[in-house]
Amino acid sequence: MLRIANLRKYYGDRLLFENVSFEISAGEKVSVVGANGSGKSTLLKMLAGLLEADDGSVRAYGNPTIAYLPQHLEEDGAISLGEYLVSEFYEAQRSLNQLEKKLQDEDDDCFDRYTKAFERFERAGGYALEERLESILEGLQMQHVELHRSINSLSGGERTRVAVARVLLLRADILLLDEPTNNLDLAGLEWLERTLANCASSCLIVSHDRTFLDRVTTRTLEIDPVSNQITNYSGNYSWYKSRKRQDEERQLRQFKEQQIKIKRLTEDIKAVKCQAIVTEKSTQNDYIRGRAKKVAAKAKAREARLTRMIDLEKIEKPRVTEQPKFSLHGHLQYSSSLIQAEELSYKIQGSQILAGLNLNVVGSSRIAVTGDNGSGKSTLLKLFVGELAPTSGSINKKPDLRIGYLPQHQESLPNDQTVLECFKSLIETSNRQRTMASNMVRDRTLSDGDIRTLLHRFQFARSDVFKKVNVLSRGERTKLILATFMASNVDLLVMDEPTNHLDMETIECLQHALNSYNGALIVISHDRYFLENLSPDCVWHLKHQTLVERWSGCD
């Protein structure tokens, strides 16, 4: 159905991949994995026809229809949900509904217009599309959202659902899905898993959710930034990880065995050649000297064969992509009250989001905030860090509290600054706020060398620190913010969907770092594997503007 041959792509002057060839068959469910910046999103855009290859070809056989889901909804946020999802159908349905109200006047002209409107409604999909739209929105728990609402009024999770709904409505032969699980709650994730696993469409999926990939995909394509190749593994994500580890262990074992063999043969050849030379020089006997020359000649022939063997049969040492290495250090607060909210409420545009919440973050608590999309989880975190002000009620914080905040989106980062400049700016802001709050002495100023060493641990290479923020991927922006946490020793980490856009290896490293972190933690995450291994000691579940506090083990 889709055939990729000898594909090559550069991002600026950096090679992403080359000589890449693979096929996608009808109905296949394939995942694309790789480190941040390895070219996963670029590959999907190329297959969708949004980017051109520098070399090679992408060919679709059988004239299939292709639908592409970008990481972020890229439409004008001012348009309505109906216009975004099913523009022609929405307009036809709206006209039909308006004319139905006028039919009671028994105006002949109105009846003619109604007939034409109904024909237009049928051409746009009619009741069949209407039923399918309702089914998809219900599956994604969006049935409560009216079609006339603007995209701007939706939460991050709701926007993801809308984008997914639009792609599914197209019933395309090939679905190219870039992070479809971002911001989806548990119910939405499970519905999407069932829908994709059972649909007839071929799917090429980029996702950080390993549980989702295990349940949906049956094949894995890995983009290796070291070799610039794409390797095919005939299994889901867990199978791919296991097989890759086995392959690397086998290759390393074979490499070591060959190195031992080469060393032994080299030493043997060297010893024979030396012995032949010593024998030839130590005697005047022509026979013995002749034999010594023959032995030396055979040693030289063996050396030539060894050289050919090394050239033709050399086993390379496995080249492993450098993994992020970082830790997060905080202050153990014991029983101190860090943040206390009393009768906390928040409204937006007359709509009540949160109502009368009483919350207390004590000591080094590890709190998971859960709830359906649109229940106010991100709003609560923004109230805690001061990005929003409560409509009523109060939030009291410990005077010298240092908060590290990772938002769901990083649009507030200064796009015109370099990575190095942005890091310094974020650290300076953190130091200034803490100094003003508690009259404390600032932390020591890091040198450029210290900063570059720290950023390297988050996979920012030497030249990367001079990149502008506006060219960074979403995952790289998240890593930049995480790097500032490592340098700041924050007391409380407030993280909104921290695993969004991160590659699997970085997620695992973040998980280990958070498990050894001494400070308090408040986190929103729909990544089931991540949250399960994080083991929060408290869960705040938001529902219908209120909060149900549920301690671990006390369901």
pLDDT band at 549 (very low <50, low <70, confident <90, very high): low
Rounded Cα distance, 320 and 301, in Å: 36
300 residue type, one letter: K
Residue 443 has pLDDT above 60, yes or no: no
* CA atoms of 31 and 220, how far apart (whole Å): 5
Q: Residues near 105 by Cβ (< 8 Å), separated by ≥ 6? A: none
Helix (H) or strand (E) holding 100: helix 81-102
The CA distance from 2 to 58, in Å, is 7
C-beta separation of 469 from 417 below 8 A: yes
Contacts of 257 (CB under 8 A, 6+ apart): none
Instruction: State phi, psi for 294 to the nearest 5 degrees.
Output: -65, -40
Comparing 443 with 22, the larger pLDDT belongs to 22
**Each residue of 311-344: pLDDT tens digit?**
777 777 777 666 677 788 877 776 788 999 999 9
pLDDT score of 432 more than 90:
no
Domain 337-551 has CATH 1.10.3720.10: no
27 Cβ neighbours under 8 A, 6+ residues apart: 200, 201, 202
What's the pLDDT tens digit per position in 143-163?
777 777 888 777 766 777 888
Query: By the 8 A CB rule, do 82 and 134 touch?
Result: no
pLDDT of 278 above 70: yes
pLDDT of residue 176 exceeding 80: yes
Q: What is residue 231's three-state secondary structure?
A: strand
List the alpha helices (DSSP H) in 413-527: 419-438, 448-456, 474-488, 504-515
Give the containing element (helix H, strand E) for 230: strand 229-233
Any alpha helices (H) in 103-236, and if so which ranges?
A: 108-123, 126-139, 156-169, 186-198, 210-216
pLDDT at residue number 554: 38
Rounded mean pLDDT, 428-451 = 62
Tell me the mean pLDDT in the region 484-492. 85
Residue 322 and residue 329: Cα distance in Å, rounded? Answer: 22
Rounded Cα–Cα distance for residues 458 and 45 (Å): 26
pLDDT digits (tens, 9 = 90+) for 29-80: 999 998 877 889 899 999 998 999 899 888 888 888 899 998 877 666 677 7
Most confidently predicted of 14-18, 307-311, 326-330: 14-18
Predicted confidence band of residue 216 (pLDDT cuts 50, 70, 90): very high
According to the model, what pLDDT value does residue 38 have?
83
pTM over 0.75: no
Q: For residue range 446-468, what is the model confidence (pLDDT) as tens digits?
A: 788 888 888 888 888 778 888 88
Alpha-carbon 537 to chain mean position: 26
Task: Please give the angle made by the CA atoms of 464, 467 and 468, to the nearest 5 degrees.
Answer: 150
Does the pLDDT at position 442 exceed 50?
Answer: no
Q: What is the pLDDT of residue 370?
A: 87
Cβ atoms of residues 319 and 306 within 8 Å: no
pLDDT on residue 221: 94
pLDDT tens for each residue of 222-236? 998 888 889 999 899
Determine what percent of the chain is predicted with pLDDT higher than 90: 18
pLDDT at 435 over 50: no
Give start and end residues of each alpha helix (H) in 205-341. Answer: 210-216, 237-282, 286-313
Quote the pLDDT of residue 496.
Answer: 93
Between 15 and 107, the more confident residue is 15
In the numeric block, the tokens 């693979």 are attached to 22
- Find out whether 90 and 129 touch, Cβ atoms under 8 Å: no
Q: Count how many Cα atoms sit within 13 Å of the Cα of residue 168 in the half-sphere of its side chain.
A: 24
pLDDT tens by residue, 201-213: 999 999 988 889 9
Per CATH, the architecture of 2-242 is what?
3-Layer(aba) Sandwich (3.40)
**Residue 35 DSSP class:** -
Long-range contacts of 533-538 (CB under 8 A, 24+ apart): 534/366, 534/368, 535/366, 536/366, 536/367, 536/368, 537/365, 537/366, 537/367, 538/365, 538/366, 538/367, 538/368
Side-chain-facing half-sphere of 516: CA atoms under 13 Å? 10
- The structure tokens 């639009």 sit at 166
Tally: H helices and E strands in the chain: 15, 18
**pLDDT number for residue 523:** 94
Angle at CA of residue 87, ends 83 and 93, nearest 5°: 100
Q: What is the b/e burial string over 239-250, where b = at least 16 CB atoms within 10 angstroms of the residue's CB?
A: bbbeebeeeeee
Tell me whether strands 492-496 and 520-524 are parallel, antiparallel or unpaired: parallel
| CA distances for 252 relative to 72, 107, 312, 411, angstroms | 40, 84, 18, 43
Q: CB under 8 Å to 232, separation ≥6 — which residues?
A: 22, 219, 220, 221
Model confidence at 430: pLDDT above 70: no
Q: How crowded is the C-beta side of 124, counted as CA atoms within 13 Å?
A: 23
pLDDT at 440: 44
Residue 321, token pair as written in the block = 């992509």
Q: Are 114 and 121 in contact (CB under 8 A)?
A: no
The whole-number pLDDT of residue 123 equals: 64
How far is Cα of residue 315 from the mean position of the Cα atoms in its chain? 33
Sheet hosting strand 229-233, strand order edge to edge: 66-69, 174-178, 202-206, 29-34, 219-224, 229-233
Of 386 and 133, more confident = 386
* Burial track 417-432 (b if 16+ CB lie within 10 A, e otherwise): bebbebbbebbeebbe
Q: Which of 362 and 125 is assigned the larger pLDDT?
A: 362
- pLDDT digits over 371-411, tens only? 877 788 889 999 999 999 999 999 999 888 888 999 988 77
Residue 70: name the closest of 175, 151, 155 by CA.
Answer: 175
Per-residue pLDDT, averaged over 185-207, amounts to 89
Rg of the chain in Å (alpha carbons): 31
Other C-beta atoms closer than 10 Å to the C-beta of 203 total 21
Tell me the β-bridge partners of 342: 394
Asked if residue 439 has pLDDT above 50, the reply is: no
- Does the pLDDT value for residue 183 go beyond 80? no
